[in-house]
A = this chain, B = another copy of it.
Amino acid sequence: MISIAIVEDNAGVRQNLQRLIEETPGFRCVCACDCGEDALREIPRARPDVVLMDLHLPNLSGIECTARLKELLPDVQVIIVTVYDDTETVFKALRAGACGYLLKRSAPERILAAITEVREGGAPMTSEIARKVVEAFQSAPPPGPADLNLTRRGHEILQRLAQGFANKEIATHLSLSVDTVRWHLKQIYEKLHVRSRTEAAHMFHRAGSPPPGP
């Protein structure tokens, strides 16, 4: 008997899922919430094996909710069921701790199969999602070993920036004008596609990690 929780703000969809699960032998729906706040309150009590999680929720996003749930219940298996299929959302969800990702257009049988699959140690994904995930590995090398085409000066500056130095300090260390440092930073931000020093530092810090990370 697999116990399941549902987090889905659309009442119709939620009830359909609930019915689907209750009508299937071996499955039981122990909790159905319409927002992340309720989920964080009720799911730890219900202690389900698997959570079906929508991403578009009022207030607290499904991603945030997933992350916090995994903190509270590290063993719970979260399957995202959503309409969003853009790469960023998918990766954020997986990083938050989801171990499955289905699109809402999936057939009911696919959802049931996914629940069984996570229980057996799998990671059910719609095929497009799986492809995105695999491609993330292939595009990992570029940002990894190859610090993107930064100038020598640019690299020196970024390095110190990532160590927490302010522009003024960097300027002093390199015997430059603050404006020059700022000018270089503008170039760097453009190349890294970021808009702030902390984002740039974040890019820098995870340059050289083998697995994924877009």
Contacts and interface: CB of A to CB of B under 8 A. Distances in A.
Interface stretch (A13-21, A48-56, A162-170): A162-170
Given A61-B173, A133-B137, A165-B198, 10 more contacts: A64-B173, A95-B140, A99-B131, A122-B131, A123-B127, A123-B134, A137-B211, A140-B213, A166-B198, A201-B205
Contacts of A187: none
Interface of A: 59-61, 64, 91, 94-95, 97-100, 117, 120-125, 127-128, 130-131, 133-141, 161-166, 173-175, 194, 196-203, 205-206, 209-213
11 contacts: A91-B211, A94-B134, A95-B137, A95-B141, A121-B131, A123-B127, A125-B134, A139-B211, A140-B213, A165-B198, A205-B205
A175 B60 CA distance: 8
Nearest to A132: B123
Given A91-B211, A137-B94, A210-B91, A123 B131 contact: yes
Number of copies: 2
Nearest to A93: B137
A173 B135 CA distance: 28
Given A175-B59, A202-B162, A95 B138 contact: yes
Contacts of A97: 138
B94 A196 contact: no
Contacts of A130: 122-125, 130
Contacts of A59: 175
Contacts of A128: 121-122
